């Protein structure tokens, strides 16, 4: 029963805009349609899907918009 009450409270707080976490509020000012998780390497200039074999040496998690901003281009093998 306590668990249900907690769940109810959690859902109520999620609906109320005043209780939205700061991270959601700050993200709302920066909405980008392309925000997929992609991976870059230490030495490469391409961004990849997590399953790409080019990520054997290094694998740095980022997102597509950040990778593009940093000058990375899409890998022609995994086509992220």
Residues that bind Zn ion (CB under 5 A): 48, 52, 54, 75, 77-78
Residue 35 Cβ vs Zn ion, minimum distance, rounded to whole Å: 19
40 or 78, CB closer to Zn ion? 78
Largest Cα separation within the chain, whole Å, is 54
2 or 79, CB closer to Zn ion? 79
49 or 65, CB closer to Zn ion? 49
Neighbouring CB atoms inside 10 A of 52's CB total 19
Helix (H) or strand (E) holding 68: helix 64-69
Q: Nearest residue by C-beta to Zn ion?
A: 75
Residue 76 Cβ vs Zn ion, minimum distance, rounded to whole Å: 8
Q: Is 62 exposed, middle or buried (0-12, 13-18, 19+ CB in 10 A)?
A: middle
Three-class SS state of 37: strand
Residue 77 Cβ vs Zn ion, minimum distance, rounded to whole Å: 4
């Amino acid at each position: 029963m306590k668990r249900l009450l907690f769940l109810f409270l959690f859902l109520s707080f999620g609906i109320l805009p005043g209780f939205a976490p700061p991270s959601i509020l700050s993200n709302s000012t920066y909405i980008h349609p392309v925000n997929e998780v992609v991976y870059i390497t230490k030495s490469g200039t391409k961004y990849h899907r997590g399953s790409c074999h080019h990520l054997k040496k290094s694998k740095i998690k980022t997102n597509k918009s950040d990778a593009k901003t940093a000058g990375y281009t899409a890998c022609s093998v995994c086509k992220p």
